[in-house]
Amino acid sequence: MPHHLRRRALPAIGATALAALIAAAAVPTAQADDQPAPLDAAPAAALTGGDSILNMFEWNWNSIAAECEGPLADSGYTYVQTSPPNEHIRGDDATPGEENAWYIHYQPVSYKIESRLGTRAEYQNMVATCQANGIGVIADVVINHMAAGSPTEERTGWAGSKYRQFHYPDAGFDASDFHNTGSAYCEIDNYQDRAEVQNCHLVGLNDLDTSQTDVRETIAAYLDDLQSLGVAGFRVDAAKHIAAADLAAIMNLVDGDPYIVQEVIGAPGEPITEAEYTGIGDVQEFSYAYDLKNHINGGSEARHLTAIGTGWGYTAPAGVFVANHDTERGSQTMNYQYGQDYLLAEAFMLAHPFGTPASYTGYEFTTNHAAPPLNADGSVADAVCGSGAFTCLHRSPYMSGMAGFRAATAGEAVGNTWGSGDALAFGRGDTGHAVINAGTTAITRTFTTALPNGSYTDVISGGTVTVSGGAFTATVPAKTALAIYVGNGSGGGETKDCVTVNAAVSGTNVGDEVYVVGSIPQLGNWTAISSAHLSGASYPVWKGTISVPAGTTFQYKYVIVRSSGAYTWETIGNRTATVPATGCLNLNQTWNTA
């Protein structure tokens, strides 16, 4: 944007501008310049191969808590992602005609945990409730910038904080904490200019100077505060606009070892690449979502998806998704309006091991800036599944059932692949097998599988699939899927009343063993016993299956039994879980010392 047209007193960035910004960031033009020096940073905690995230966009904290206690508790999802939890601009300070738009959450006013999605106490209760049901919480965090503001007019944020352009006293920032103020003011216009992308202002949003120690410390304090409420990780919004060295420095100030996934929208020829950020944590791979659309709802055949991964040019470690709150309002990815194709893409993503998947559940919209359902006071209304605007797609077996499939097949490689046109199938070791039919006609065939003989329950239809002699025969209707795995049905000789464990445990040495111990006899009444021993054959993920009656509620922890016989315990409070009435309880977790 030419300097004489810059918008220095924008009330807010509009949804149209955001869409244009994403499009501009994805257009290849000039040759990339030299890459920065490698980062001196320790990578963040990785999630395990059985983990999956559910991005609950614009769900308020009480509704997420209720869902964690309800359908999510038995779904297989191991994390939920919340919208940004801190104070933002008020809805009537958005761009005229776009009042109360979703994007107001991405215009911070302070780091108070108070927003139209709920209070600090409600957020903390949500985290505790989800944790009690085996589900961690990841927060979307906006740390690149602060809200657009008037140079002269003082405004009030959602929680009462006063602010104006370059002055956010309740966040601890004044004009000295920002890039390019006064006569040096600039907005991003050229995505081929690294300095402009990372030091100029994002269509009016005030860009923090993250090279400064005090700015880094303020941001790290906010992230630590979220961790004090039990948050397990962060999705870093607009990470591309923060120099990778600055972001690494911020994360090195943060306590503990949170999971980190970063929004870095890469494009061929641009100077800023996803690879710069992989030393910090996962990087969201936007091309993955674009390719899913192309192969399931586009011109390329779905059968090629069995080989999806770094061979397709993707960065690793990657956070993958079918859609997010930005892309579902554009044309490059699918969204809920794509119906069955969208669900097939979600099912495939959860079945295939590449990347850490973040499924998406949001609300219906007719305009790109449309707000979620609101109460009279402007706060976001409770999500009511079955009525109202919230889609609740995550309750579909293509999502919740397939999250269970992912959990059960953690660490297992892809094998026994098959593909024809828009249909494909693949196994996950000797633990699971999935068939995706994105075509317009049914397929009937006999599939080769490594699954043990037995009867299995199809995650999608609930029907029975019989495996015998390394094969099963099935008819999969058009635009549907089938997925079976050991522990879901009698296949493989697994008991129906059981707890299956995939635990990523840090700090073990040669000769150490890992156990689940807990409050019931099957877990040794807090003593390590052989029936609750986990195998380290898939190290660093320790696995096991423990027979526990259906309906049993118990407390538990993971413990390392050293070669000397000494116990090393997780230092968190006791975990709590309940074995479902049917099927197994799947625990896919990470050793936690928070």
Q: What token pair was written down for 157?
A: 């944020």
Q: From the centroid of its chain, how far is CA 310?
A: 19
Residue 425, both tokens: 């199938």
Give the pair of three-digit tokens for residue 577.
């879980």
How far the first Cα of the chain sits from its last, in Å, is 45
Tokens 């140079």 sit on residue = 151
Listed residue (244, 131, 195) closest to 570, CA to CA: 131
Q: What's the DSSP call for residue 468?
A: -
| Measured CA distances, 13 to 4, 17, 85, 172 (Å) | 18, 7, 19, 23
Our CA dihedral for 242, 245, 248, 250, rounded to 10 degrees, sits at -70
Catalytic pick from 58, 263, 276, 346? 263
The two structure tokens encoding residue 500:
């299956």
Q: How many C-beta atoms surround the C-beta of residue 160 within 10 A?
A: 12
3-state secondary structure of 202: strand
Question: Which stretches of 106-160 are assigned E, i.e. beta strand?
Answer: 136-141, 145-146, 155-156
Helix 340-351 vs helix 286-297: crossing angle, to nearest 10: 130
Radius of gyration of the chain (CA): 24
Relative to beta strand 79-82, strand 136-141 is parallel
Report the alpha-carbon distance of residue 548 to residue 546 in Å, rounded.
Answer: 6
CA distance 566 to 507: 14
346 is catalytic: no
Calculate the alpha carbon distances from 525 to 60, 209, 428, 516, 532 in Å. 38, 53, 34, 10, 11
| Cβ(134)–Cβ(181) below 8 Å | no
The single residue of 93, 114, 237, 494 carrying the catalytic annotation is: 237
Q: Is 458 a catalytic residue?
A: no
Active site residues: 237, 263
